[in-house]
Chain A
Amino acid sequence: MPIIETNEGPLWKRRTSTRQWLIWIGWLIGICIAAYAWKLISDKTIWFFVQDAPRQMVDIATRMWPPSFDYMDKLWGPVWDTLNIATIGTVIAMVLAIPIAFLAARNTTPHKLVRAVALFIIVATRSVNSLIWALLLVVIVGPGVLAGTIAIGFRSIGGCSKLLYEAIEEINPVQVEAIESTGASRAQQMLYGILPQILPTIAGVGVFRWDINVRGSTILGIVGAGGIGVQLNASINVLAWTQVSMILLVILGTVFISEYVSAKIRHAII
């Protein structure tokens, strides 16, 4: 915070003028990029439909009311499937993520090359959305819950491994040295020196990821990979709006409950 001496005494300013200019240039570049992006998007927009949107919203909202509560009978199965996709997907992800995390952590990796491969797996699985995984898996194993489960599992490997290997790199090395000094092999060091230190992280990451996966598994049905998304897609396609609003309510409830449960468990662990 510079103070500039003027004829009328010292003047307080928040920033130096160079810094002020840099910030202005940053804003200018940012606004130019945003304006250009806006132009490109608006060129591809049919504005008639956008002007029509408020009417459409009112129309669909009135058609959605009241939610068809009778339809709930047919939704218990899909909700159960959705939760299964999330849970078993998370288990698959954790089972695969823990060894990959050990291979990717600087202090436990057997070789630099192995670390590079493990990091590549982490980045590649993380960058491909679960919907894309589901799209491909539906082709391979056929439509249904299995495709969704594997898709959620694959998508989560990267996210879980990343958090786990960071935890492995931050462990207390003294405990591992103590185990090493007893003459333990490398596997025993990992089992008795490292694993107990990261167990709370493993549990925390698993629950955290499960919460994300419940949300993610509600949409996989759009490409045919099971769960409540199948019903959502079907109801939207036949314009059964009262069923759609019921499904949205169910998703809202499921996600809230899963968030509550995961917050409670994480609170208990940490």
Chain B
Amino acid sequence: MLEVSGATKSFGGFVAVSNVNLSVAEGETHAVIGPNGAGKTTLFNLVSGLLTPDSGSVVFRGKPLKKMQPHEIVKIGMARSFQRVNIFPRKSVFDNVQVALIASRGLNFNPFRQASGLFRDETIALLDLVEMADDADRRAGELAHGRQKQLELAVALAADPKLLLLDEPTAGMSLGETRAAIKLINDIVSKRGLTLLFTEHDMNVVFEIASRISVLHHGEIIASGEPQAVRDNDEVKRIYLGKE
């Protein structure tokens, strides 16, 4: 479904992602792990079209993404969340999801279709999915950080993606919140038959839900495979898991 080949991206003299090959098959729950600064977010930005690789290519569902803008990539079935929550903080929880549905149905070009009450059922259903229907009328920016992350998940799901990219979906959450959020994500992914590519720093979580793991270190993939194989990889043990 997603094929990253030889992707390299540098900022000034700093090589953030170097010759990365990554392949995500349909139905996979694929984790990218690595220490802070390993290049995980840069890799996600390359895949989702926020950045263009200096060399190498990204192919999604058979289409090379080289010249595509993020909004075009969303339209062919990829949605993402950000490490730092990226929602509409001054709008209500309901409006956040509703406008995402408006965009996904292409109604953003319609100046006459009145938005009031539009997609109410679908919006509430999506909020239900992330257990937030009770917060529908609250301002998104007032919510606790963990709830905002959950809202961003609902916003991403509104685009009806085939591939979901979650950049540190549990960043800044307590241990309990992390457990709950991961369970929720896992449920949604299996219920909707999504392919998931995510980054995560909590190793227990990663090994619990990932069907494949790629380890990024100094911008390079040093191991990629089944969780057990990655866990047993000597290089991974030495530079990453050894710290735990």
Question: Do A and B originate from a single complex?
Answer: no
Q: Please report B residues at the A interface, Cβ cutoff 8 Å.
A: none
Residues of A bordering B, CB below 8 Å: none
